[in-house]
């Protein structure tokens, strides 16, 4: 019985050493000290919480990247719209020149019509995900379209998507207000400009003056909208940088909790391998002696 018990103890010892060796090899392979919860339950719990916080941060970063892309596209579109409106003001001023003849004014009127179509194309630009930049909450289709009378009307609905920045939510774009407001509709103003350029001599000067005034107001409104988008973009960028910094800190904390001292782990592996090899050799020798005694 004593021989049997001794044999079983040596087998159990070798099994335990092999399990320790396998565990250490797993740690070295993954570079982590904790390969299963039982390795260190307290540290495993801390690591799990850090991972949840990090995952939430990554989700928010993806949302911020989408918002930044949308705001950037909106900023570019509004910049293009502002240039169209600035050119329209120049056309209105040129049209007021007394030396122009009817053909010259007709050419300018055609340009005003072209500017209106350019503005409509800009107002119907979409974000990377295909949603209209100026459609509010609208998911597909144009934000603006001409109706049966030829007037441009907003086709959107609701307000622009929002994103959380800390404890507040902010819009990730603008809507029809960039192009139309109580002080004038940019599309209608361009149509009026084309009509004013070909108006009779008696009313042309007043019509062009009114067009220029309206175009100036509309241009300012678009510029203000662009400035607002720029401010939102700066806030999104700041939040993105904060979350990235938090992510680096969390990764460092997680590394400290789960991380493995590779040199120490290799040393432990070598010691375990040596002990296991010696134990196995001893087991073989003792088994041989026991067999000889039985013979």
Residue 1 reports pLDDT greater than 50:
no
Q: Where are the domains of the chain?
A: 52-252
185 contacts 193 by C-beta, under 8 angstroms: no
Classify burial at 238, counting beta carbons within 10 Å of its beta carbon; exposed 0-12, middle 13-18, buried 19 or more. Answer: exposed
What pLDDT digit, counting tens, does each position of 227-268 carry? 999 999 999 999 999 999 999 999 888 877 776 655 665 777
0.85 exceeded by pTM: no
Q: 249 Cβ partners below 8 Å, 6+ apart?
A: none
Residue 118 reports pLDDT greater than 60:
yes
| Proportion of the chain above pLDDT 70, given as a percent | 85
d(CA 3, CA 294): 12
Q: Please give the CATH topology (third level) of the domain spanning 52-252.
A: f41 fragment of flagellin, N-terminal domain (1.20.1330)
> How many residues would you count in the chain?
295
Average pLDDT for the chain:
85
Note the pLDDT of residue 238. 92
What pLDDT digit, counting tens, does each position of 145-169 carry? 999 999 999 998 888 888 888 778 8
Note the pLDDT of residue 184. 77
Average pLDDT over residues 28-40: 71
Q: 96 Cβ partners below 8 Å, 6+ apart?
A: 205, 208, 209, 212
Supply the angle between the helices 41-95 and 186-197 in degrees, to the nearest 10: 20
Count of other CB atoms within 10 angstroms of residue 207: 19
pLDDT range class, residue 105, cuts 50, 70, 90: very high
């Amino acid at each position: 019985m004593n021989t049997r018990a001794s044999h079983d103890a040596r087998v159990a010892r070798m099994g335990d050493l092999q399990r320790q060796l396998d565990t250490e090899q797993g740690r070295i392979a993954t570079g982590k000290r904790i390969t299963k919860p039982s390795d260190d339950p307290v540290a495993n719990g801390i690591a799990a919480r850090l991972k949840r916080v990090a995952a939430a941060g990554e989700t928010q970063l993806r949302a911020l990247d989408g918002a930044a892309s949308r705001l950037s596209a909106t900023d570019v579109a509004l910049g293009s719209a502002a240039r169209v409106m600035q050119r329209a003001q120049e056309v209105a001023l040129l049209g007021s020149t007394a030396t122009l003849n009817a053909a010259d004014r007709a050419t300018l009127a055609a340009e005003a019509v072209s500017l209106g179509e350019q503005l409509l194309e800009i107002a119907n630009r979409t974000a990377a995900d295909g949603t209209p930049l100026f459609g509010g909450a609208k998911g597909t289709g144009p934000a603006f379209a001409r109706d049966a009378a030829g007037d441009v009307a907003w086709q959107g609905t609701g307000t622009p998507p929002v994103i959380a920045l800390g404890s507040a939510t902010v819009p990730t774009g603008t809507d029809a207000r960039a192009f139309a407001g109580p002080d004038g509709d940019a599309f209608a103003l361009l149509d009026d400009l084309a009509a004013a350029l070909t108006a009779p001599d008696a009313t042309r000067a007043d019509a062009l003056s009114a067009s220029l005034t309206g175009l100036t107001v509309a241009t300012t409104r678009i510029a203000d909208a662009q400035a607002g988008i720029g401010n939102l973009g700066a806030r999104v960028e700041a939040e993105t940088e904060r979350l990235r910094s938090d992510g680096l800190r969390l990764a460092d904390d997680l590394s400290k909790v789960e991380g493995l001292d590779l040199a120490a782990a290799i040393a432990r592996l070598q010691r375990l391998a040596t002990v296991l090899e010696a134990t196995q050799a001893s087991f073989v020798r003792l088994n041989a002696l026991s067999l000889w005694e039985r013979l």
